[in-house]
Structure formats: C-alpha cells, structure tokens
Structure 1
Amino acid sequence: MEGTIDGFRYGWVTPVAAFVMACLGGALGLRCIVRTLLGTASWKPGWLALGAASIGCGIWTMHFIAMIGFQVEETRIGYHVGLTVLSLAVAIAVVGVGVFIVGYRGAGRGSLSLAGVITGLGVAAMHYLGMAAMHVNGDISYDPRTVALSVLIAVVAATAALWAAVTVRGFLTSLGASLVMGVAVSGMHYTAMAAVSVHVHDDTTPTWSGDTATSLLLPMLIGPVVFLLLAGVVVMFDPLLVLGDGEWNRPSRAGRAAAATEEPVGRPAPGRSWSAGPR
C-alpha cells in the first residue's frame, strides 16, 4: 500500500531552521570566496577550502534538519550511518570544485557556468545520496520530472549566488547572495521531496537495522553546526572579509591620495627653482 508522507511533522520549525542553516553556510562560504579576491594569493587555497566546507556543511545540515520533520506514518524511518557521512563528504568535495573554479578563474561566463552547474549538481548529489541512506519498510520511488526540476532549481540558483558573490563584493550583496543560496538549497530539497512516494510492505517487520532519525541525526548535526559557528568566528575577526574591499580600503586610499598631493619636503615644486635667499 502507499504510505502517507508528512514532510512537516513539526510544522514550520524544521523548514525555518533548515533555511537558516543553509543561509548561514552560504553566507560564510560566499564571504570566503570574496575574501580570496581581496587578499593575498598565498591565503587563497585556505579561504576557498573554508568556503567550500562552510557551504557543504550548510547544505548537509539543512537537508537533515528538514528530514527530522519527514515521516511516513505507516513505518519507521532509519538511516545508514556510512551513507549519511558520505553525503557530507560529497557535499563538501563537489561544492569545493565549483568554489575553486570561481576563486581561481573569476566570474567569466564559461567558468561561472561550469562552477554553477557543478555546485548545483553537488547540492543534488548530496540530497539524493542522503535519501539513499534512508531506510523504510517499503520501496521508495521518485517522479522523474519533479527530480529534474529540483536539479534545475539547484543549478540555476547556485549559479546566481556565485555570480553575485564574485561580481559585487559588498557585504550586503554577499548577504543577499547567501539568501539566494538558501532558497536554492531549500527549494531544491522540498521540490525533490515532492517527487517521493513510498510503497509500504504489508510485513510490519523492519527490513533495516539502522538508527532512527532522532537518535542518529541529532548527534551528527552537532559537528557541522559547531564548525559553522567556528567559521563564523573566523569571519567576524577578519575586518577585510566582513567589510569588503570598498569599506576596508577607503581610509588608506584617501591617505595615499592626500600624500600624493603634498609637496615633497626638500625638493622644489615643478616649475620652480631653488633660491638662496634675497639678493
């Protein structure tokens, strides 16, 4: 028989919390990308790696917070530990490829399109790998057209977020880009979940031995959440990363301009000669 699916078991608590975590990961990751455009090249790999890890953790945390609110009324839900951890690694690795492309090749049409596609596919890969880790007493199937739509949403929105991050470097712009990234991840997730249907087996004996959503996901979420908080501390203590190029460099630029207009001490101004005094 067809299972009764409820994706909002706790109302709007899980969707809102999931969206916030996606935006947090996106904000930190995109600011790290901007930081590589403002700072020295020697720190670029580190900032890009931190950005990829932040976005990947945000995506993964968003997905499994949302999945805490997912239930099939006729059966329990379990998760395979190995696949759940693998989905986090895939999210960070695949998103990292897109982030490094933008970080080193800039916002050209070709590189941005490639990075957006890879990042969007990374979001989709993490989602469906996370879904593969889920076990129910039944068979899970997907509507192909809705799945394709979910992937398209992820790719388009991820491309838009990366474009905004590297094109306009202000803090508010990056904040807006993080909201776009949050919409991309959340929209992709709930569109993909709309494609899910479960055919429950008549046998009530579970066919899996994994942990329940609460016993597995809540402890596993602690690590990525703590990482995002620590990454946020790094962002807060880097003035250049928080303020951006315009705000951080404005005083020094003004000082350099003023210094350039001052007449050098010990040299005559152009068009004038030294005088030994009154003759």
Structure 2
Amino acid sequence: MQGAIDGFRYGAVTPVAVYLMACLGGALGLRCIVRSLLNEQSWKPGWLALGAASIGCGIWTMHFIAMLGFQVEQTGIRYDTGLTLLSLAVAIVVVGVGVFIVGYRGAGRVTLGVAGVITGMGVAAMHYLGMAAVKVNGDIRYDMATVGLSVAIAIVAATAALWAAVSVRGFLASLGASLVMGLAVSGMHYTAMAAVSVHVHGTGAFAGDSPASLLLPMLLGPVVFLLLAGVVVMFDPLLVLGDGEWNRSPQPAEPVAPGSEGTSSGAPP
C-alpha cells in the first residue's frame, strides 16, 4: 500500500525554521573562513575548523528540523540513533575537507571545483544517511532522477558558498551570500524529499517513541554550538573593528637624524 506523505506537518513553521538555521550556519561559517583569510596572524586551522563545524551543524540541524514536519499517515516513524549521529559527523568532516582546501589553496578554478564537489557530496551524503536512519513500517523508495537533481543542487550550492567564502569581503556581502546559501541548502533538502515515496506493509501499529522525543534532545547540542560560535564571531576584536581594519598595520615611525633630538623642525641648528 502506498503511504500518504506529508512533509509540512506544522505548516510554514518548519520551512521557515529550516531556512533560518541554514542561513545561520552559513553566515557563521563564511565569517570564520573570511576571518582566517584576511588576517595573517589568525590561527587559520582553528578558524577554518570552526567555520566547517558551523556550516556542518547548520546543515544537519536544518535537515532534522525539517524532518520534525515529516510524517507518513499510515505508519509511525522512528530514528536510528547511530545513523543520525553518523550523519552529523559526515556533515562536519566532509564540509571541513572542502573548507580546508579553499582555505589553504585559494579559489582557483580547479581547486574550487574539486572542493565544491567534495563538499556537495558530503551534504548529500549527510541527507541520505539521515534518511537511512528513518524507520517506518514499510519500504522507503526514491525517484533517482530527483535524487540526482538534489545532489546537483548540493554541489552547486557548496561551490557557490566556498567561492563566496574566499571572494566576498564585506559583512553585508557575506550576509547576502549566507541568505542565498540558506535558500540553496534548504531547497536541496526539499528537492531530495520530493524523491521519497513509502510503500507501507500494513496498517498495524508501529511501536516506538515519537520522532520529536529523539530529535529534539539531539538537536539541542548543535544548536547550542551554533549559538556559542555566534558569540565568538560577534565578539572577536578583528570582526568588531570591521573588514577595513583587519590588515591595517601601524605606520613606521620616521627616522630621527642623530643629534636632532629635542630640536624643532623650524629651529636653527
């Protein structure tokens, strides 16, 4: 029996929250990457790692907030804890690979393409690992053409985000890039969900806790991390100074001629 899928159980609440979370993770990640590139005294590995973790947590949190609104009318839903956590690790690690590539090698055409493909595949892998964690009284099936489209969107979105990270400088430009990135990432999620169909085995009860009872506690950790990362970014002295101040070095003092100490510029020798 074909299951009736509803991806918007709570109406517009989950899509709006999904978009905002994707934008938050993208904004924090982009600012951390820009911070590592525009100041040579920065601890680059630390800032790149914080950026990768912010983007990864933002994408993962976005996905499972969206899944709170996912239901199949003929069956309950459970989640495999191990696969759910593994999808978070994959998101952070694979996004980190792409971030470190562009952070150390720049945004050359080949480098950006390789990093974008790796990062996009990581985003897609996170999504489908997260879907593999979904347990229903039936079989979850996918339309492969739509799956391919979702992967392509993930790669394009990742490439654009990495390009923005090494090319965009101002705060407002970074904010605009994060808004576009949030739209692309959340669009990738709902495109991928459009590929899903469920063949239900029967109408019997499917025992287990509600999805919210598992997902909400697991979402707490990444959300707290993103809030702490936001505090770090907001109160970093170099970010507070502004982009124009980052690489401004103090002007060297003019040399003083021997024996001229204490004489004014207009006084006779």
Per the normalisation by structure 2, the TM-score is 0.91
Instruction: Tell me, in whole angstroms, the C-alpha distance in 1 between the residues paired with 2:52 and 2:77.
Output: 30
| 2:38–2:246 Cα contact (<8 Å) kept | no
1:168-247 superposed matches below 5 A? 168-202=168-202, 204-206=204-206, 211-241=209-239, 244-247=242-245
Q: CA deviation at 1:175?
A: 1.1
1:125-164 superposed matches below 5 A? 125-164=125-164
Instruction: Tell me, in whole angstroms, the C-alpha distance in 1 between the residues paired with 2:208 and 2:194.
Output: 24
* Greater CA drift, 55-64 or 195-204: 195-204
What amino acid maps onto 2:133 in structure 1? A
Instruction: Tell me, in whole angstroms, the C-alpha distance in 2 between the residues paired with 1:234 and 1:203.
Output: 50
Instruction: Tell me, in whole angstroms, the C-alpha distance in 2 between the residues paired with 1:172 and 1:87.
Output: 31
Instruction: Tell me, in whole angstroms, the C-alpha distance in 2 between the residues paired with 1:74 and 1:148.
Output: 28
Instruction: Tell me, in whole angstroms, the C-alpha distance in 2 between the residues paired with 1:210 and 1:132.
Output: 17
TM-superposition CA deviations, 1:6-25 (whole Å, max 9, x none): 10010010010011111101
Identical-pair percentage: 80
> Which of structures 1 and 2 has the bigger CA Rg?
1
1:8-47 superposed matches below 5 A? 8-40=8-40, 43-47=43-47
Instruction: Tell me, in whole angstroms, the C-alpha distance in 2 between the residues paired with 1:8 and 1:79.
Output: 18
Per the normalisation by structure 1, the TM-score is 0.88
Instruction: Tell me, in whole angstroms, the C-alpha distance in 2 between the residues paired with 1:124 and 1:84.
Output: 14
CA RMSD across the alignment:
2.3
Partner of 1:119 in structure 2? Answer: 119
Instruction: Tell me, in whole angstroms, the C-alpha distance in 1 between the residues paired with 2:268 and 2:226.
Output: 70
Paired residue secondary structure (1:198): strand
Unaligned runs of 5+ in 1: 269-275
Q: CA deviation at 1:240?
A: 2.0
Instruction: Tell me, in whole angstroms, the C-alpha distance in 1 between the residues paired with 2:21 and 2:156.
Output: 20
Please identify which structure carries the higher helix content. 1
TM-superposition CA deviations, 1:150-172 (whole Å, max 9, x none): 01011111111211121121111
1:54-65 superposed matches below 5 A? 54-65=54-65
Paired residue secondary structure (2:43): helix
